[in-house]
Structure 1
Amino acid sequence: MPTSSQEKQPPKSTKELLALAQDGAKKVFSTDEYREYLKFISGFHQYSVRNQLLIYLQNPHATFVAGYHTWKNQYHRQVNQHEKGIRILAGGEHKYEKRVRQPDGTIKRVKETKVFCRPAAVFDYSQTSGEPIKMFTHELTGEVPNYATIYSKLVQATDFHVGFSREMPSSETKGVTRPRQKEIQLRSGMSEKQTIKTLIHELAHSELHCDPKLKLDRSTMELEAESTAFIVCQHLGIDTSDYTFPYLAVWSKDKDLSQLSKSLTRIQSTAEKFNKTVDQNLEKIREKPLTLDQKIERAKTIATTENIAKKEQGLVQATQEKTR
């Protein structure tokens, strides 16, 4: 088994980190550790393959990692005293101007960008103390009967544009609603259950929380959106308990009865609206096996999601190549 970060000094230089990743890869892929490693990296999809391996080799029991300032500023947690960081390779850019001689003999200043790697330290959740964080919900897995129809009708229930993206504000974000742009972005690559749950959550935000006159704190908005998603998913026969209840446990703390009562009224009316929207189209097909057309429609929906993700990844790679 790899050695914990608590048992020996972590590598410090870029050269040491690259060597550790190379040697560790040989060990992991040639032993029974591979199965454990696959389980491990499922929780670190936001990191590169090399950094996933570096985290695993230094602390195979890590569950969620972030930098010192991210823990402090974004999650309101403090790294415990005397903790040793897990060393990874962070990307960086150096922008500069280059003097290039033109065919006519003149000198032109050209902006260049050099991409490089540098060592950086991250810390596991177990190495920190402070407020609980919501990413320790279990992401939903599995298919949804009539997925394509449900997804399509839910999207039609809003005037917001709904799309997919691999780029999210943070690693645990499943979806985001942007009122000014009137758009909803869902993380691509999620299961059908997680996609539908997240879509309803973001639709609830678009329905309930886009009025600038409303003075609601974030915890109230998250409570209302996730509760709405839970009710609608239950109505559709989708159990989201493993995800929703830990999520709500964080956002409902310190709420008094009067606050919760106001929220429940808003939650109920919004959930009822979405339920009616979907019910009108599912009444005839509920409890029936998928027809060939429905299977084709589901395949198209999934393919569209994957194609969008591939195109976005291609654009990112093309942009990076241009800056080199």
Structure 2
Amino acid sequence: MSTSTKQRPSKETEEERQARRETDRQRAQEAVEALRSSEGWQRWLGLRRHFHRYSLSNQLLIALQMPEASRVAGFRAWLRLGYCVAKGERAIRVWVPMPPSKAQLKEWMEAGAPANEKPRVRFRLGPVFDRSQVVPLPPPAEPVPLDPPIIEPEGDSLGWAFPRLCALAGELGCGVVIERMPDGTGGCFMPELRVISLNEANSVNHQVKTMVHELGHALMRWSIEKGEVELTYSQEELVVESVAYTVCGSIGLDTSDYSIPFLTSWSERTPMEVVERCAAWVDQIAKRIEDCVGDPPGSPLVPIPGA
């Protein structure tokens, strides 16, 4: 039996390191630039519902490289989940943490461990793969289920989420009223009264969608009143409906029939700083609501380790 010795890769030169960093920066900038079109904005939102626990930067990078992605992990992480990356698949590159080496930490400790000189965690683009790029391992492996439940817009299957959303409204100092409203009306947020009103004629699932939208308004008003954000009315509406679209998608409720016509108003002429600001607020507000809602009871999804 023959053995082979793996050669250690040559150390990266400073010129190569600078070239790699410039390539990384360019790719990150391209990911942000893609948000300026309505198509790019919708592509990010559609993908974000699958990756809402990821950083905004990584969401944008995945959307740029593989907009149809729905679940990613590193090569070894997929093995632990019972899957193997198919031969010939090209990796998606995302920011991954590079903690200090043991040697760096030892040197720092020997120098007296000055707080302002502690070696930092750095980030570089590393490889992950989407679920469409992997195949189940044969027995005795037991691949974990990856598909989330599909929620019908008319029904009450999201009843578990409603009290959690009401609890968030309470944290914001808002009351929730369910009352008779004109046909075709979902609800509204009255900032002067700090009240969210919902149409009693609508299904529970529809009320959940409306609650997410109106909570988006409440969170925006909260931040505006504290002077943390300044957006025009149309920009605020874009942020709020984007929040509703991606948050509802994260719990399996598709609101594209309602949301997409509104989201197509995004203009390529919008200044880049406004695009980045709106994207950051969408992600921040959506995360606040998603943290409150949590996972569905008995969810079969297993968090991806190491991705």
Which TM class, normalised by the smaller chain length?
A: 0.3 to 0.5
Q: Would you tell me which structure has more strand in proportion to its own residues?
A: 1
Structure having greater relative contact order (Cα 8 Å, sep ≥ 6): 2
TM-score by structure 2 length? 0.42
